[in-house]
Homo-oligomer: A and B are copies of this chain.
Amino acid sequence: MTALQESLKAVAKGRTVISVDAMGGDRGPATVVAGILLSAKANPEIAFILHGPKDELERLIGRKHNLAGRIEIRDATDVVTMEDKPSHVVRHGKATSMWSALESVRSGEASACVSCGNTGALMALSMMRLRKLEGVNRPAIAILWPSRNPQGFNVMLDVGADIRADERDLLQYALMGAAYARNGLHLELPRVGLLNVGTEEHKGRAELKAAHDLIAANEVLGKYHFVGFVEGGDIPGQRADVIVTDGFTGNIALKTGEGTASLIGDLLKEAFKFSLLSRLASLLAYTSMIRLKKRIDPRRVNGGVFLGLNGTVVKSHGSADATGVSSAIKLAFQLAQSGFSERLAARIATTDGSALTGAAEAVEIKDHAE
């Protein structure tokens, strides 16, 4: 055990250690430290390793009471910017805070990593340093989407790890998304839907029809219920708990949903400013609005989870404020506590055989299982 690891052991004291990249977010390290402070206050079971320029971070942390003895700083002088190309970061990013943050998960010092930085670079570095799970071809980014389901959210993936996905990738997304819904949303038998332009089986692209058959055939082994094709309106709906799609479509759907929600929010504010009466109404409506905001506030469900890697990585929104950063840390903590990464690896290993066989053979396996 190195001196560094000894010191960390003292910091952790049985706590769950989360590795946090202080840099790369739109609002800078002060916001990340503020988010850590919120998390530390709310949950005494978390300890932190914070990565970035040591002097600056020490100044920001200062003598904050709640962090005393629960945080360790790892000096990293370079920063991955939003403009950096992933391929460049993979080759030249060794001195960055992002690299350092992932390293703590790789070495086993931390149970999960949180970063607000460049998504493409974070995924590329994660794949290189943590490696893909045995049996996974393309890792995916999963998010929680506010929905009409009792659990309040649906899992949607991939929202942007890779713009391509063939039928076997889509099957793996179904397996990984279902595992996330079991561990993150506590659903015993998550309902999986495959995103398409119609619910009829004859609709859509050829690879979607192949994926339809493959996902249907692996229901039992994957421990999910397949509801077939779903449409865009079902992402916030109640027909499925897990929505599976490729990263191109998923990313556009995610940003369209965010943009639409934000437009409605602004129009609502405008509507309430219109007259004296509506201003009065908005005062009275204040608590209702706060309640609604809590329900759909993207800051409270902040964090895309990278699935399919040896280790848990949570990507916080680049523009996250302290509340947003704290939500991402909470998510990382919950996933670490549930042993999600190990469970997912086991699930993929079990289904690996059928996942990599064709639909016809998989159907056979299913028939035997029933």
Residues of A within 8 A of B (CB): 85, 146-148, 160, 163, 195, 197, 202, 204-205, 231-237, 245, 247-249, 251-264, 266-268, 270-272, 274-275, 277-278, 280-289, 291-292, 295-296
Contact = CB atoms under 8 A, between A and B. Distances in A.
Given A160-B197, A278-B288, A85 B202 contact: yes
Contacts of A237: 259, 263
Given A205-B248, A271-B292, A281-B288, 18 more contacts: A148-B266, A160-B197, A234-B259, A235-B256, A236-B256, A249-B252, A252-B252, A252-B253, A260-B261, A263-B296, A271-B289, A271-B291, A278-B287, A278-B288, A281-B281, A281-B282, A281-B283, A284-B285
Nearest to A248: B197
Contact of A263 (B85, B148, B259, B291): B148
Contact of A255 (B202, B232, B272, B282): B232
B251 A249 contact: no
A285 B257 contact: no
B278 A259 contact: no
Contacts of A146: 263
Contacts of A264: 261, 264, 296
> How many copies of this protein are present in the complex?
2
Contacts of A253: 232, 252-253, 256
A256 B271 contact: no
A285 B249 CA distance: 37
A248 B288 contact: no
Nearest to A247: B197
Contacts of A274: 287-288, 291
B258 A232 contact: yes
Contacts of A266: 148
A243 B251 CA distance: 16
A257 B253 CA distance: 8
B272 A252 contact: no
A144 B13 CA distance: 58
A205 to B, nearest CB: 6
A265 to B, nearest CB: 8
A197 to B, nearest CB: 4
